[in-house]
Amino acid sequence: MLQINPVKAFNDNYLWVFHQPGTRSACVVDPGDAQPVLDYLAANDLTLGAILVTHHHADHIGGINNLLTSYDVPVYGPASAKIPQVTHPLKQADDVTVLDVKFNVLEVPGHTLEHIAYYAPTSANQQAPVLFCGDTLFAAGCGRMFEGTPPMMYGSLQKLASLPLETLVYCTHEYTMSNLNFAMAVMPHNVDLQKRIDAEKNKRDKGLPTLPSSIQLELQTNPFLRCSDPLVVANAINQAKTAQRDPATIFGTLRHWKDNF
């Protein structure tokens, strides 16, 4: 089935490269740096067939120009003046097939206004649904709101949370242990969270990525997806010293708390 591998870049980025077994054409997601991708392709006897982009931040697009110097390939991404290399601009509900994988495009603004995610339902080419979500949803966390508002970001996360439980979540940073430490402050009695901390720490001790995650695991242990949980609400209200209880406000309180954690 579909092979998806992380290529490490910078301090904690993962540039996801996927291809079909038995083929040489690969796609890279959010190539912030070209050289690690070029090295990976050469080491694995692969060629670049396409580029997927989720948003305009430099650590997600900084390697595109150098990759295009070596490979003349389509670049899929949000319509944005900040990503001039995009040849195939995408919006909500668009479908795009890349290397025989059909992706549904989801607009998920909040981290940036033009942020999109790519969701591939289960098909003959992969055993489980796949989500490339950039910096919107992280393992046990979510992205900072550089351009959006709490209701906007909350809505985007709810859109992702509604995907099938078995969906594999490929985000782009190894922030998991830091996020789990914050999640424990918000949900100290969450048994699933305590189990996850042990499991993820074991991976990191072995030098392994904590990703992919899954929608089911995030619903169980990610406080940003549990803004209606009574204990999360109570702790958020206590933190913000406010009586407002609607989920978007609770989300905003959690995000502010995490920003200063």
* CB-facing half-sphere around the CA of 234: CA atoms within 13 A: 5
Choosing from 19, 33, 56, 57, which is the catalytic residue? 57
Active site residue 57: yes
Instruction: Report the domain count for the chain.
Output: 1
Choosing from 59, 95, 115, 246, which is the catalytic residue? 59
Choosing from 95, 173, 229, 256, which is the catalytic residue? 173
Query: Domain range spanning residue 159?
Result: 3-259
Active site residue 111: yes
Q: Is the pTM of this model over 0.85?
A: yes
Active site residue 30: no
The CATH number given to whatever domain includes residue 67 is 3.60.15.10
Q: How far apart are CA 228 and CA 231, in angstroms?
A: 9
Q: In 78-214, which residue ranges form alpha helices assigned H by DSSP?
A: 150-161, 176-186, 191-205
What tens-digit pLDDT sequence spans the chain (261 residues)?
A: 899 999 999 999 999 999 999 999 999 999 999 999 999 999 999 999 999 999 999 999 999 999 999 999 999 999 999 999 999 999 999 999 999 999 999 999 999 999 999 999 986 566 799 999 999 999 999 999 999 999 999 999 999 999 999 999 999 999 999 999 999 999 999 999 999 999 999 999 999 999 999 999 999 999 999 999 999 999 999 988 777 789 999 999 999 999 999
Choosing from 19, 55, 56, 115, which is the catalytic residue? 55
Label the pairing between strands 3-9 and 141-142: unpaired
Choosing from 30, 60, 94, 229, which is the catalytic residue? 60
Active site residue 55: yes
Distances (CA, A) of 179 to 83, 199, 223: 29, 14, 10
Q: Which two tokens stand for residue 203?
A: 């991976």
Choosing from 19, 30, 33, 111, which is the catalytic residue? 111
Secondary structure of residue 131 in the 3-state scheme: strand
Active site residue 189: no
